[in-house]
Structures are given as C-alpha cells and as structure tokens.
Copies of this chain bind each other. A is one copy, B any other.
Amino acid sequence: MRVAIVGIGLIGGSMALALKEKGFADWIIGVDANEAHQKKALELKLVDEILPLNEAALKSDLIILAIPVNAAEKILPALLNITDKQVLMDVGSTKEGLLKCIENHPKRGRFVATHPMWGTEYSGPQAAVSGAFKDKATVICNKEENDADAIELIEKLYATLGMHLVYMNAKAHDVHVAYVSHISHITSFALANTVLEKEREEDAIFELASGGFESTVRLAKSNSAMWVPIFMQNKENVLDVLNEHISQLRKFKACLEKENYDYLKELIEQANGIKRILK
C-alpha cells in the first residue's frame, strides 16, 4: 500500500517508521512545507520520496494528515475534492472544528478522524522514533459517518501498530483531551515561566532541580506551532478546565494563608486518588 504522510514531524515520522516496519506500507511519500524537514526525512529514511501535496495524494491509497490542526482544516476539504477512492485520516488533538469543516462534503465518508494518544515534547523529523504508539489508545471519532472500507482500513492500521481503539463523538473527545492532555501542557508552560522568571534574579535556582521538577515541566518544551492551534480550536473546553484548575490551586493557597492544615491534608489525600488510575 502506498501511503502519503503530510507533515513528517514527530507523529508523521514515527508513523512512517511504524507502518514500514510492520509491512503495512510498501512506499511512503512525504509531504512537508519545510525544506529542511524534507531533506531530514529522506536522510533518516522516514520516507521513500518527497512530493508536492496534490501529486502525493493522487499517487497514494492512504493519506495521513500529521500537521497542526489549523493547517489540517485548510487542507482537508481541498484533498477530499481532488481524491476519489483514497482513504484519508488525521492524527490531530482536536476534532470538532475539523469535522465541522467537512460535515456536508459529499466525500465525508472517506475521512477517518483519529487521535493516537502518544507523543513526546520534541518535534520535527529528527524526533521520530521507532516503536512509538504500541499499547496506547487511539480515539476514533464519529465512526458512523465513515464509509465501511475506510474505517476498516484505519482500524486495521491501528491494530497493526498495537494500539487499542476507543470510539467517541468529536465533542466528547475534545472535552476529554482538555482534561487529560491540554491542561497538562498549560500547567507545564506556566510552571516553566514561573521558575524562569525567578531565574532572572538568581542563577543558581536550577542547580537543585531534580526528577520531580523535571517531570512536571517536561511538556513545557512542546512547540508553539502545534499547541497554539490546539488551544485555539479547543478554547472553550480548555478554559473550563483551566478555571477549574485555578480554583483547585486557590484551595491550596487558602489552606496555607489560613493555616488550615487539616484541609490541606484532605486535599492531598484526595489527590492521592490518582493512584487508582496511574499504577
């Protein structure tokens, strides 16, 4: 099978490696607006050739969009216009806006909306890794709107990668990821800025940073080209969660200000409930 991957970064590049390794793809065509990324992707053998978008699309059986969610919104309707039997899918972090763009498109059924729940804080083709995705979940949204052969192909693709599938409508997906992914990024960005601000006064501050600090700010390395569009598209949900998070932080603040250490203990024990979920 010939697969076009649009955007050969962390996710697109890792997907290219996995599909080739598993024998799902015989030939991978890379599409990328960034010339340095094109070169790097060829050099790292992530892709077999680089082509312009439309040519790549017409030459492929499957087209995977692995670009920022705002770019996907622009490209997807045009791709549906020019393709026919091809199956298309995306791997983006928000879904409602994207599906809205094509809800009345006559070839809507050819596009499968997916979100593999895997990533790292790095970006670009050099961030691509072998063995990604395995044993993680992929969300497929609004499956009932898909042509039978299209959804079947994509389900097979994710099974090949060793992922398990979770079905959800786009609206529910966007709420869920606001809680389990987007808010983590905002708190990491904000925490990094809090500490970097202090560092301007005191050089030595990071000498003491250990594993705990590192894990909470790791996501603050994530790039703005990917994350600004995600926050734009999921604005309402992210704001809801962010408000809730700020009010949870205010409870800790109030405990300290009022020296209410019994309630502080209670809040911590409540948070320990996360052990049920993270083993």
Verify B176–A208 contact, CB threshold 8 A.
yes
Contact A137 B208, CB 8 Å, known A245-B194, A253-B243, A274-B220: yes
Contact call B189/A252, Cβ cutoff below 8 A:
yes
Q: Which residue of chain B is the closest to A239 with respect to CB atoms?
A: B256
In angstroms, Cα B250 to Cα A99, docked, is 30
Residues of A in contact (CB 8 Å), total: 90
Could you say which residues of chain B place their CB within 8 Å of the CB of A214? 278
Dominant SS among interface residues on chain A: helix
Which of A121, A139, A190, A261 counts the most chain B CB atoms within 10 A?
Answer: A190
> What 0/1 readout, one digit per residue, does chain A (177-194) give for beta carbons within 8 Å of chain B?
101110111111111111
Q: Could you say which of B139, B238, B273 contacts A208, with CB atoms under 8 Å apart? A: B139
Docked CA distance A245–B119 (Å): 26
A103 interface hit (Cβ, 8 Å):
no
Cβ-neighbour of A190 out of B196, B221, B271 (below 8 A): B271
Contact with B along A209-221 (1 / 0, CB 8 A): 1111111111111
Asked whether B119 lies within 8 Å of A212 as measured between CB atoms, the reply is yes
Q: Which residues of B contact A193 (CB under 8 A)?
A: 248, 251, 267, 270-271
Q: Does A35 contact B (CB under 8 A)?
A: no
A120 contacts B268, CB within 8 Å?
A: no
Set B137, B139, B192, B242: member contacting A256, Cβ < 8 A: B242
Top 7 closest pairs, chain A to chain B, by CB: A189-B271, A192-B271, A190-B248, A224-B268, A192-B274, A184-B216, A117-B210
